[in-house]
Chain A
């Protein structure tokens, strides 16, 4: 190595060091909405520095194609950055897929460049990179397809599913282990790439829409870990750091989601969810349900002092968030205290409801987490549930036979009046009956969320004159 090369190598490493600091600061600033945008800027500066630094790399002979690829990638990235807020979950899943795709391709290229002289540790990280990368790639594509509803959202299960899935994964890992011991067995490598691709598909088949927040977080974690593994392969400490940050972020989010659904982490790790639906729908007798019109609902809301709105995925589907904002305005103008109760797994990804409501210009200090608002329900005049179901189901507290028993819920049933906007009495996506609807203090508001909120807003405006 000539001194000149060593010099540029030092510069590159220093640039990577600065980028690492900026990445950590970037996440640090995400702790509060006030500083969060600085976080994005720090991340952007770090990224530009790192890419520019990499271009100084002495081995680079071909710049033309780097810039072409960067330009094409930016061309794809811009529309992906401009999607509607309701499409954010599928966009996120798609970007996990892209990240994993990149990692898998680099791992594959590195393997064929280095084989057959790959030391065992290096081979082990290549195997990890490629297995995690390819299963995350197809898994995330499947998740994106389910979220975009190009694939059926309901879980697809069959007998022995877990055995088939774990068997596939075991074969891929066995191939990896064999490669570590016999690095010359080049022909095993494609097996190790292709089998996790199938595993990724099968892993997501049994997963229903309600489990998506956990799954997206988990895929996020896998994407991060595979990138960290790639960092070992290409010996980039910056990439190891970014991958570790992403991996731990996805991990923490998965744990939060698991806790919010009362599922154990192993349960999630083995993809054994979506089995909830079987035991549902049994034992239905005729119970009476009270329903109300928009006019009656508006009257009750106008007379209330404290209202808590509980949004769920149904609000996102009906695109009702802007109408909800009008309702918020109308009630606030009358002096009603309106807040929003956010369950951690409401929606299709962590924080989904917050983004939708923020998009509708609802101030973030009115969005209250479950643990902070649950104590306030007994003093709440009206709890208005819009498109949320399982997260309000009191059976989770009381009915040991319920599939969601033990799941922390929003205690809306403790409010003086509960109003639930719902299309019909059909049990929700998971097929679990919700005793909330039959309580004496519950009023069902049947209709499309957006249309119904709109008519309440109209009634409120009418009463004012």
Chain B
């Protein structure tokens, strides 16, 4: 077992705790945009797919990589777009309407 994997486990553990503490505080009002936002962030998997495509180590890995980049990018773009659209709609009643 190499040390990079152990480092990874530490990072995973810490990030898991941060996730718990941060997400516990998200208002239930915003649970839908929260899910679409985390989905977009999760699509950071695109970086792994980009490397697969760019390195072109085999045709098989190249083709899977291209499909993976497409799938992940659509999540990045679609996820951020819809999250922002949803959040734009949340308005407080305090600024009075004309």
Contacts and interface: CB of A to CB of B under 8 A. Distances in A.
Interface of B: 1-2, 4-5, 7-8, 11-12, 15-16, 18-20, 22-58, 60-62, 64-94
**Most-contacted residue by chain B among A46, A59, A354 (CB, 10 A):** A354
A112 B16 CA distance: 30
A110 B38 CA distance: 25
23 contacts: A27-B19, A28-B22, A30-B34, A40-B87, A51-B46, A74-B73, A77-B77, A82-B85, A91-B82, A98-B74, A99-B43, A102-B75, A105-B71, A109-B65, A230-B48, A231-B12, A234-B51, A241-B12, A243-B42, A350-B32, A354-B90, A363-B92, A365-B94
A26 interface: yes
B19 A245 contact: yes
Contact of A47 (B44, B65, B82): B44
Contacts of A236: 47-48
Which DSSP category, helix, strand, loop or mixed, fits chain A's interface?
helix
8 closest A-B pairs by CB: A73-B73, A81-B81, A77-B77, A60-B54, A351-B31, A248-B19, A363-B93, A80-B78
A249 B36 CA distance: 11
Contact of B35 (A101, A216, A245, A344): A216
A77 B48 contact: no
Interface stretch (A199-207, A217-225, A397-405): A217-225
B92 A364 contact: yes
A137 B77 CA distance: 19
Interface string A205-242: 00000000000110010011001101111111111111
Contacts of A92: 32, 35-36, 39
A231 B60 CA distance: 21
A139 interface: no
B69 to A, nearest CB: 4
A349 interface: yes
Contact of B74 (A37, A46, A76, A125): A76
Interface in A93-131: 95-96, 98-99, 101-103, 105-106, 108-110, 112-113, 119-122, 125
Contacts of A163: none
B19 to A, nearest CB: 3
A99 B75 contact: yes
A50 B79 CA distance: 16
Interface of A: 19, 23-24, 26-28, 30-33, 36-37, 39-40, 43-44, 46-47, 50-51, 54-55, 57, 59-63, 65-66, 68-70, 72-74, 76-83, 85, 88, 91-92, 95-96, 98-99, 101-103, 105-106, 108-110, 112-113, 119-122, 125, 216-217, 220, 223-224, 227-228, 230-250, 252-253, 256, 342, 344, 349-352, 354-355, 358-359, 361, 363-367, 369
B94 to A, nearest CB: 8
Contacts of B27: 31-33
A237 B11 contact: yes
Given A70-B73, A109-B52, A95 B8 contact: no
A238 B11 CA distance: 9
A73 B11 contact: no
A122 B4 CA distance: 11
Given A227-B45, A363-B92, A81 B35 contact: no
B49 to A, nearest CB: 5
Contacts of A244: 11-12, 15-16, 19
A26 B53 contact: no
B51 A73 contact: no
A103 B26 contact: no
Given A27-B26, A109-B64, A366-B93, A99 B45 contact: yes
B37 A30 contact: yes
Nearest to A44: B80
